[in-house]
Amino acid sequence: MTSSTGSAVSLPFIRELASEPDPGTKPTISCRDGHQVAIYRSSRLDFRRQVIEELPQDGIILIRIAPTASSPFSVAMTRSEFETQFAGILQTESWKIGGRYHFPTFPQRARPFLVDSGLVPAVSSVARPKEWRQKEHGALANVLQESSQCLAQVAAWRDAWRPKQVRILLIAESHVGEMEGDNEVRVKVPFPAAESLPERYCRLVYCLGYGENEICEPRPQGNRGTPQYWEIFSRIAGLEPQLKSRFFLSDRLAQKVRILRALRERGIWLVDASTRALYHPGKSGKSPSYAQIVRESWEQTVWLSVSAEPIKLTCVIGRGVALALGSLPELRDALLISQPQDRNAARYREGLSRLLERIRSVGAEPSRSV
């Protein structure tokens, strides 16, 4: 395939579309000359699962690539060509969980699908050396010990409470690592919910069974939950927590649902900078590869999942996460607050107050009617 030219490249209407004004980052699908065509702009070669899966096999993906330091160009290929030439992408965690896959540098195998001849991107001469990649892989293998089923449940519970539009993005490290038997646990909410919620358990604040043994069957081991994040959630939702053990289970769960609905309605969403858990019960300390794992996960998966959202405010929760992400351009104006369990309680309270003030400044006032 790499020695020939893609079948869509020479189509007149594809060349015409490629020369039109900026299509924007939000994908659109239209019918041209009997073909369904999905078109969008990205700074890199960026494939999006939801878009591609909406196309028939002869449907065409047209991506306008606009690097920050060079002129834009376009690639075009059919869904069938994508699934043949880039079959390995379909098996990656980024594709299965994040729903996207992008290449940091333009790959050689995408050259046959170039539409414009004005700029042929060069394969980066500063690619990471093979031995460095092998060393990195070994570090990741030693740290990340989670099943694909667990990661899928983390994504499902988070997506269940994702707003239609994310206006305020909270970035943290809230996902706790899988323990033996977690995949066998079912979460049974004792009242009907308007939302379609996952049934399997995971150690994420969005999972209603995390920290609530009574609705888990069988009971997971060490199911402590993360009450510190419920404190943040309730404060920014403008609702009382009412989550302590002295309250009835039904009251606690109903209040959690009210809090999550309030956040969703106001466009507030919590993501983890790393798709993999970096804290595992019974283990202490951070991996030597912590910063590396967080940054690569953010750049390759997490940021791509929210980059097209109309985000007005970003807040990083935790100094370790902030240090790992460094001075990325998309986080240049992000607010930093410490973890709720910060030994310096005053620092945490001051940071939370600043977050509440910034939320008010962007017009996301608490909804009292939820």
For residue 99, pLDDT beyond 50: yes
Write out pLDDT tens, residues 241-252: 655 655 688 888
Instruction: Look at the pTM and tell me if it is higher than 0.75.
Output: no
Integer Cα distance of 39 and 21 in angstroms: 12
For residue 29, pLDDT beyond 70: yes
For residue 365, pLDDT beyond 80: no
Sign of the CA dihedral running 57, 58, 59, 65:
positive
For residue 43, pLDDT beyond 80: yes
Domains annotated for the chain, with CATH where assigned, are 12-113 (no CATH), 148-361 (3.40.470)
User: Where residue 261 falls among pLDDT bands split at 50, 70, 90?
Assistant: very high
User: Where residue 139 falls among pLDDT bands split at 50, 70, 90?
Assistant: very low
- Measured CA to CA in angstroms, residue 30 lies from 20, 25, 128, 332 at distances of 15, 15, 39, 36
Compute the average pLDDT of residues 262-291.
Answer: 80
Nearest CA among 365, 301, 298, 366 for reference residue 334: 298
For residue 362, pLDDT beyond 80: yes
Among 259-263, 280-284, 337-341, 347-351, the least confident range? 280-284
